[in-house]
Structure formats: structure tokens, C-alpha cells
Structure 1
Amino acid sequence: MRTRTLGRTGPAVSALGLGLMGMSDLYGPADETESVATIHAALDAGVSLLDTGDFYGMGHNELLLRDALRGRARERAVISVKFGALRGPDGSWLGYDSRPEAIKTFLAYSLRRLGTDHVDVYRPARLDPAVPIEEQIGALAELVRAGYIRHIGLSEVGAETLRRAAAVHPISDLQIEYSLLSRGIEAEILPAARELGIGVTAYGVLSRGLLSGHWSPSRELTAGDFRGHSPRFQGEHLDRNLELTDALGKLAAAKGVTTAQLAIAWVAAQGEDVVPLVGARTRVRLAESLGAEAVELTEADLAEIDAAVPPGAASGGRYAEAQLGHLDSER
């Protein structure tokens, strides 16, 4: 697999990364044995960037990754960890905490769960409005100097926050949703990241499955699947979004690839500074997603895709209104 670099100062990583969230949380039950096998298959295929969060399954995701990496060379994995989200024992969301002492505590527990002496990229999951970003980055910079983390990343923040953070310490990358149905970063955030030399790790590249080509309007979701409350998966919103997926699917068929592969390839084609994260939970879905790395898109292809799924065409918000309020990137 080809490699890309996370910004000017970040690590070299595989051109596609693997997002592990769905193996522990928010998309309903997952098979642990299959999850570990999927991580192994990704590593064997040359995927090095593995993205997790300490609050995914309240620590379960990090323990899962530790098990998957046991017996593997640590240097082959670039581990990216999000922190700061507070959760109750019932799984409820209780806010965010990025106080310096909390950051150090979160990291201490992550290192123990992961079974490693350092995290490659460490990032607050959301902006904590109670703590100035300069203070958060200052605390992370201390951990860089101490050798516990290698690089500082951010997640779902806006252009102004990026600039304030980069003034304190180099930022390797911004993790943010970016897909054919979520192009909000193109106006201000992506240009600011490029101006500052900050890479983008794009999650939600298949829009939670909408752009996979495998979604059905009749699909029943389990109680633990957050898509049951996501606006884009409801009623007329879902119908409209699947019409867009069908249009993309016709282009994919003409090119001899799957809808998911074309959607992932489109994100990868937005620049060498963009690394798509695929959220495959099984080896079958992983194999399909990794096939996107071989898809070459011409300017004519990109124009056809833009015509089929124009900017702003998505129906419904990417999160419910209450959740959007926590996103600095949406302000």
C-alpha cells in the first residue's frame, strides 16, 4: 500500500487507515473474533494507521486493539487515540474534559489498556469550551517532550481553533468527517489546514454506510446503533440520500468498481494530505474498502461524481442538533 504523511510534521502512514470504533460501539453488536481478524488482515495488507478512542466501548476498543497487536511489531502500527469524552456506566454521554490533569490521566489509562509505552497521535475528541485550546495543546506538548505521545492531533475543530493550536505546537492532522455527503470542511477548514501544514484524516467516508451501496431502506437497526437517531437515516432524508447513492453507483458500475470503492477513492483524490479512514468491521468489508486504493480518478471522473452528488446535496444533518452543538467545526 502507498503511504502519505500526516501534515508537515506528522508520521508517514498508509494511504488508507482503519477506524475501529464500530468494533466496540455505536453501530450495534460486533463479533470480537472477527474484529481482531479484520485488524490482522488490515495490517497484513499494509494498513498502518489504526484509529481508536478511549471512550469507544468505555475502554473496550483499546483492549481489542491491544489483543490484535499482541505478537505484532509495534512499529508497524501508527496508533491514533481520541480522548476527552465522558461517559456513564449506562453508556450515556456526559460532556468533555480536556483539563491538563485529565489529559494526563486519560493517557495513563490508555497506555495501560493498549499495552504500549507511547501513542503515535493523541487528540481531544471534541473541543472543551471550558479549557482554552492553548492550555490543552500546552499539556499535550509536555507529553510529547516526555515521550508518551509522538504527535498532537485535533478532531472536529474549526479554522480559528486550528490556527490558535498550531501557534502553540505543531499539529499533525485534523480528524474530521469528510465524504461526498459531508463537504463542509471545504469552505474554510481545509484551506486553513493546508495553510498551516496540517493533514486531514477523514472519517465517515461512506457516510455511516449510506454511500456503501449496501444500505437498504428496510434495514432494521439495533437499539445500540446511533444511526437510528441520525437525521440522514430518517424518512424522506434517507430516501433522498439513497437516490444520491444510486447515482454514484451507476458511475461506479461504469468504471468497474463498487459504490463504496468509488466513494472512498473520491475522498483520497482530494489531496495527498487527506487520509481516508475506513470503518470496516469484517474482513469482507475491509477487502472491498482497500480495493479503493487502486482506483484512479481522472478530472473527468471527478466532474461526473460532482454532478451525480453535488456539494450540499445531502439531506439532513450529519448529527442531531444536540450533538452538532458540541462541534467547533460547525460554528
Structure 2
Amino acid sequence: MPSRRRVLSALALSAASLALAQPIRLARAADAATVLQSRPIPSTGELLPVIGMGSSGSFDVGASPAERDPLREVLRRFFAAGASLIDTAPGYGRAEAVIGELLAETNLRQKAFLATKIGAVGREAGLAQFRRSLELLKTDKVELLQVHSLQDWKTQIALIGELKAQGKTRYTGVTHWQDSGHDELAEVVRAVRPDFLQVNYSVISRSAEAKVFPLARELGVAVLVNRAFDDGRLFSRVKDKALPGWAAEAGIDSWAQAFLRFALSHPAVTAVIPATGKPDRQSDNLKAGSGPTLTEAQRQSLIELLA
């Protein structure tokens, strides 16, 4: 028979183990509380979570723990919620290298839907840039390869087609980030019919609704939305303003969620890619990926509120 002291010691150890495990369980429960919706990529039917992540600015950091630790947590929360799409580019400073290093050290590459871009003039320059991107991202292929802001698009979309045939990317895409580029973007999409297009869209920048979105639906092209916060201008417009009365009913408890849900409520949109380097903002953004689609009345309410 075990001694009373040994029994009490065992009980104490068990209690301590349960106490240590409790925060882990609570963290996992919080991660699981955000169940992201997914939408099909029209060209294949593959499901893509509606909240992705950009990296411009947010992942252009150094190697110090103070700079990297928040990004590790940003990625942890992102993947724990079931998200996968990370969008980057050679033009985003050190972002590709930082993403590659963090995914490698956390062994999370297999969970990522990596999207990068070619922003170069000439085939050889484009190919060299892509090879460098693979090196920095520490991978042998990406899921989506896009022409950055339509730069030398005829040359680069042909190159991306070749790389797709070689298995270096699964999807082709073209991007733009300004209203002034939407007419050309629409022309290019009609000419080459990529798998994806990426475009700016927000409550106060709705130019994409005129040509780009209808064309994407007509041709079966997936749409990624960048600048859904309009580079932060939306937040300055609602400073000190309360959320609309219908927000709670829609499961929205922050302005970030409202703005992302606005973008996602357009039927042409496949996913939004807000950029952040802050874990709490990542969690907030991810919450926008669940709940009902905004009604037309709710969308109009936001438009009028920010007019």
C-alpha cells in the first residue's frame, strides 16, 4: 500500500499539472471559437478561408525577439483559426524572408496558402525575382503567383503560365491597389482570364463594383480584396462613433469586423487580406470570417455613416 505522504504528493502533482494545462486549454478554446467560413475558388472549386493576411509593412521587420515574437503569435492565431492565405511580394521589404523563416521554424508551411508576386520588367528579370522569392520563402513552390500591379503584365502572365505548367504555382493572378487602375485591370482580366484577381475595395472606395466585380463573376475569377480599411482612413472616420445598432445582431463587435464583413458581403469577393503585426488585431480580424452576410440595408447603413 502506498504511504499517505506519497498519495498526497501524487495528488499535488496532478493538481499542479491541471493548473498548468488550464491556460493552454483556454487558449485553444478561444482559437476554436472563431470558425472561419470558406468560399470556393471558381476555377477549381477548392475552398479558401475568407480571411487571409497581407504582409506589407507588418512583416517588414528585423530579427530581434521584440520584432519577431508578436509575428509568431500572429501566425499561431491565424492558423489556429483555420486561416491559410498569406499574401506577400518582393516589394514588401523583408516580408518574404520573415515569413519564410517563421513558417520554417514553426513547421507551419504545410498549412499555408502562399501567394506572392512578380513585379519586374522582362522575362529573365521576372524569373530571377521568382526564384529569389522561393529562396526567401524557403519553399519550392507557391500556391498563387500574381503579376504585381500589372507591371509588364503580358510578359509576366506568360511566365506565370509556364511556371504553373511546371508545378511551381497552382494558381495565376493579377493585382492592383488603386481605383485608377481598375479599367486596365478589367481589360487584362478579360484578356487572360487568370485564376485570381486582387483589388482594393472598402466602404469608401467602391470603384471595383462598377467593372471589376461583375467581370470576375462573369468569367469565374476569384477575388482577393486589399486595402479593406483604406489604409486606416476608415478608422479615423468612425473615431468616437458607436457601432450601428444592427452590429450585435450580425455578430460584429468592432469596426474592423464591420469593415471586413462589408467587403466580404459582396458576392464577387472570395477573401480579404488585412495586414497586421499585432496578435489582438489578428484575432479581431479573424472574427469577421464568421457570422451572416451583411444585408443590403446594413451595407447601405455603413456607406451612409462614412459618407
TM-score by length of structure 1 reads 0.71
User: One-letter code of the match for 1:8?
Assistant: S
Q: From 208, 230, 234, give the equivalent of 1:207.
A: 230
* Partner in structure 2 of residue 146 of structure 1: 166
Greater Cα offset, 144-153 or 249-258: 249-258
CA displacement at 1:163 relative to structure 2? 4.5
Residues 253, 299 of structure 1: alpha-carbon distance in 2 compared, 3 angstrom cutoff: closer
Aligned to 1:121, what secondary structure does the other structure show?
strand
User: One-letter code of the match for 1:307?
Assistant: E
Equivalent-residue separation in structure 2 for 1:108 and 1:25 (angstroms): 20
More helix by share: 2
- Structure 1: runs of 5+ lacking an equivalent: 85-96, 216-241, 314-331
Question: Looking at CA atoms only, which structure, 1 or 2, has the larger radius of gyration?
Answer: 2
Equivalent-residue separation in structure 2 for 1:164 and 1:23 (angstroms): 29
Aligned to 2:202, what secondary structure does the other structure show?
coil
Equivalent-residue separation in structure 2 for 1:125 and 1:10 (angstroms): 24
Equivalent-residue separation in structure 1 for 2:202 and 2:53 (angstroms): 16
1:144·1:151 contact (CA, 8 Å) conserved in 2? Answer: yes
Q: From 51, 63, 68, give the equivalent of 1:16.
A: 51
Q: C-alpha offsets along residues 65-87 of structure 1, whole Å, 9 cap, x if unaligned?
A: 11221243533211010231xxx
Equivalent-residue separation in structure 2 for 1:116 and 1:73 (angstroms): 12
Please, what is the CA RMSD of the aligned residues? 2.6
1:18·1:279 contact (CA, 8 Å) conserved in 2? Answer: yes
Matched, 1:69 2:89: no
CA displacement at 1:199 relative to structure 2? 1.6
Matched, 1:3 2:38: yes
Equivalent-residue separation in structure 2 for 1:164 and 1:20 (angstroms): 25
CA displacement at 1:295 relative to structure 2? 3.7
CA displacement at 1:32 relative to structure 2? 2.2
Matched, 1:292 2:293: no
Equivalent-residue separation in structure 2 for 1:20 and 1:252 (angstroms): 32
* Partner in structure 2 of residue 278 of structure 1: 274
Equivalent-residue separation in structure 2 for 1:183 and 1:248 (angstroms): 23
Equivalent-residue separation in structure 2 for 1:260 and 1:254 (angstroms): 14
* Partner in structure 2 of residue 47 of structure 1: 83
Q: From 245, 249, 259, give the equivalent of 2:243.
A: 249
* Partner in structure 2 of residue 184 of structure 1: 207
Q: C-alpha offsets along residues 303-328 of structure 1, whole Å, 9 cap, x if unaligned?
A: 3223323xxx4xxxxxxxxxxxxxxx
Matched, 1:306 2:300: no
* Partner in structure 2 of residue 35 of structure 1: 71
Greater Cα offset, 38-47 or 272-281: 272-281
- Structure 2: runs of 5+ lacking an equivalent: 1-35
CA displacement at 1:164 relative to structure 2? 4.2
Q: C-alpha offsets along residues 245-303 of structure 1, whole Å, 9 cap, x if unaligned?
A: 66673457665611111111111111263311121211111111111123422343223
Aligned to 2:266, what secondary structure does the other structure show?
coil
Residues 182, 247 of structure 1: alpha-carbon distance in 2 compared, 3 angstrom cutoff: farther
1:134·1:165 contact (CA, 8 Å) conserved in 2? Answer: no
User: One-letter code of the match for 1:37?
Assistant: E
User: One-letter code of the match for 1:152?
Assistant: T
* Partner in structure 2 of residue 89 of structure 1: none
CA displacement at 1:145 relative to structure 2? 0.9
User: One-letter code of the match for 2:280?
Assistant: V
Equivalent-residue separation in structure 2 for 1:101 and 1:64 (angstroms): 25
Equivalent-residue separation in structure 1 for 2:242 and 2:136 (angstroms): 41
CA displacement at 1:179 relative to structure 2? 0.6
Aligned residues: 261
What is the percentage of aligned positions where both structures have the same residue? 27
Aligned to 1:171, what secondary structure does the other structure show?
coil
Aligned to 1:249, what secondary structure does the other structure show?
coil
Equivalent-residue separation in structure 2 for 1:154 and 1:37 (angstroms): 30
* Partner in structure 2 of residue 158 of structure 1: 182
User: One-letter code of the match for 1:183?
Assistant: R
1:52·1:81 contact (CA, 8 Å) conserved in 2? Answer: yes
TM-score by length of structure 2 reads 0.76
User: One-letter code of the match for 1:148?
Assistant: K
Name segments (4+ residues, structure 1) moved above 3 Å. 157-168, 244-256
